[in-house]
């Protein structure tokens, strides 16, 4: 019984850590580099016939040139709503349409803007690390509860805490690697 509880706890902790990593990855994807990328806008909510709908459900995206993103709505009647949502999102992009598709030109980033984005990405990475440590803290509390309720030995608790620490260090290293990659991408001219 207690092994099942421990296995469940460790599996739950692993899943929560992976979700935290995915969240950081999506946050990084929303930070604009000099290149065109659909991840910047695909999560925008569009007022589609009175319903808030994510843009990725309403259109296809293509990148014909490094600094141009083309949004092709499935329903041409939604172009105005999509264009309005992109304009209101304060992304520094100006949409233009020809009645069929919306074109978004990505201007080159200034040095000052790049540094501001790097600072923002570092903050998002730190939030990810804090989330990972929070998951570890929660798992440790659960282990303490198991120790009291199930009578786990202190040696077993210590062994499991070392596993939790290793798991946390590994995931923090993943966040650090993602941060280094995003920083390099942002500072690339």
3-state SS, residue 62? strand
Tell me, yes or no, whether 72 and 115 share the same domain: no
What is the extent of the structural domain holding 141?
A: 2-30+110-187
Tell me, yes or no, whether 19 and 44 share the same domain: no
Count of domains observed in the chain = 2
The CATH number covering residue 77 comes to 3.30.1360.40
* pLDDT tens for each residue of the chain, 189 residues long: 567 888 888 999 999 999 999 999 888 877 766 677 777 788 888 888 888 888 888 899 888 888 888 999 998 888 888 888 888 877 777 888 888 899 988 777 788 888 888 898 999 999 999 999 999 999 999 988 888 887 778 888 889 999 999 999 999 999 999 999 999 888 876
Cα separation values, 110 from 33, 39, 60, 187, Å: 11, 21, 29, 10
How high is the pLDDT of residue 189? 62
Tell me, yes or no, whether 79 and 115 share the same domain: no
Please give the model's pTM, rounded to 2 decimal places: 0.70
Tell me, yes or no, whether 49 and 68 share the same domain: yes
Tell me, yes or no, whether 49 and 82 share the same domain: yes
CA distance 68 to 47: 24
């Amino acid at each position: 019984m207690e092994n099942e509880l421990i296995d469940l706890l460790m599996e739950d902790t692993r899943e929560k850590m992976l979700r935290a990593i995915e969240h950081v990855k999506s946050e990084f994807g929303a930070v604009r580099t000099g290149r065109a990328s659909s991840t910047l806008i695909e999560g925008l909510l569009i007022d589609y016939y009175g319903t808030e709908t994510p843009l990725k459900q309403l259109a296809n995206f293509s990148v014909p040139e490094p600094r141009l993103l083309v949004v092709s709505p499935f329903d041409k009647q939604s172009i105005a709503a999509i264009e309005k949502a992109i304009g209101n999102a304060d992304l520094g992009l100006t949409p233009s349409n020809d009645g069929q598709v919306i074109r978004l030109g990505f201007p080159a980033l200034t040095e000052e803007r790049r540094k501001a984005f790097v600072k923002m990405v570092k903050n998002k990475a730190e939030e990810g690390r804090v989330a990972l440590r929070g998951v570890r803290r929660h798992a440790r509390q659960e282990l303490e509860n198991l120790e009291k309720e199930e009578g786990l030995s202190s040696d077993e608790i210590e062994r499991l805490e070392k596993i939790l620490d290793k798991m946390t260090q590994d995931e923090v290293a993943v966040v650090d690697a993602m941060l280094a990659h995003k920083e390099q991408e942002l500072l690339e001219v």
